Amino acid sequence: MLPPLVRILIPAAVAFIVGVAATPLLTHYLYKYKAWKKLPGKRALDGNTAHEFNRLHNENEVRAPRMGGIVVWGSVVLTILGIALIATLLPYKALLDLNFLSRNQTWLPLATLLMGAFVGLIDDLMVIRQSGEGIRLRFRLLFVIILSSFIGWWFYDKLDVTAVNIPFSAPLEIGWLIIPLFVVFSLWLYASGVIDGIDGLSGGVFASVFASYTIIAFAQDQIDLAAFTACVVGGLLAFLWFNIPPARFYMSDTGTMGLTLAIGTVAFMTDNLGGGVGIAVLPVIGALLVATVLSDIAQVLSKKFLGRKLLRIAPLHHHFEAIGWPGYKVVMRYWVLSVVFSFAGVILALAALPTQSIQ
């Protein structure tokens, strides 16, 4: 029998190799069909022209294709299905151990990832048209609400999840409120997808988040789930290989929508269901995602009630650009902070586990 750590690391390595190998073919077609936004420019959350953003990023918006997120979820899908197919055709013990496509741990986060990625892909395909208009925000939010309501109901009704674990304390029983809680987390995570704004930024942050939950799931003995999150990390590293400045492509909605929604599912699976505190540590592990959303909210509220902007430009990472930080400096510092917050969240999650649960 393969050691659990090997069962986790091999899918991650395979996903990375698959992603790096497939990207040249993908980018060939993305450039061939000019899969980038045709008209530069962006509007702020209040509907007005985002002058500061356009000053910084007008040229970047039309220099590289969108849909780079295909590398991430594509390599994950090819790895999962490839290993499962090989294990079916060649049912040797080692190959069967590597197959992490399981109903109780993998299907739900994989389905969430792919459904979010599919809707994001449709949005990207609409954006690269001459008109440059994607799916309206209200419809994307409606999709997130419908999908997360169904998954929240699945946790509640099918998996009997009715409580949220609190670190070093008794679980908080909330019953059916687990459904709206999951919806709220999903909306927040989807809103944090705007962190995909500078070359290499989102890939590094998301890789840290998924790597953290790999460790947490492994400590809970949810090996298939840990293999899934590690596989996503492998896909993200393959994406980063080509997204480091100057980026060959952008992750865009087909990446951010699928990844952010999958994070929520993984967090809930590593909470009461896995005997851990996956929900409570999410704001720590994803602290930069929290900061991204809060900076947007603070900017809107400041303009509405104080009549002035709190930041030069929101979200926060663009504010740092606007005050003179080079993009690469913002990215590298976000990567450092993301690793620090991830370590803090993992330490808290492992410390809150029962001693006998830790591998």
Q: What is the pLDDT of residues 99-123, one digit of tens each?
A: 999 999 999 999 999 999 999 999 9
pLDDT at position 356 is 46
Contact 268, 344 (CB under 8 A): no
| Domain residue limits, the chain | 4-357
pLDDT digits (tens, 9 = 90+) for 1-16: 789 999 999 999 999 9
Q: What is the pLDDT of residue 216?
A: 98
Nearest to 235 by CA among 77, 53, 1: 77
Average pLDDT, the chain: 92
pLDDT of residue 50: 60
- Specify the higher pLDDT residue, 41 or 146: 146
The predicted pLDDT at position 220 comes to 96
The separation between CA 306 and the C-alpha centre of its own chain, rounded to angstroms, equals 33
List, for residues 271-308, the tens digit of each pLDDT value. 999 999 999 999 999 999 999 999 999 999 998 888 88
Rounded CA separation 135/228 (Å)? 29
Is residue 296 annotated as involved in ligand binding? no
pLDDT at 263: 98
* β partners of residue 190: none
Q: What is the pTM of this model?
A: 0.94
Is residue 68 within 8 Å of residue 250, measured between CB atoms? yes
Q: Answer whether residue 178 shows pLDDT above 60.
A: yes
Q: Are 71 and 19 in contact (CB under 8 A)?
A: yes
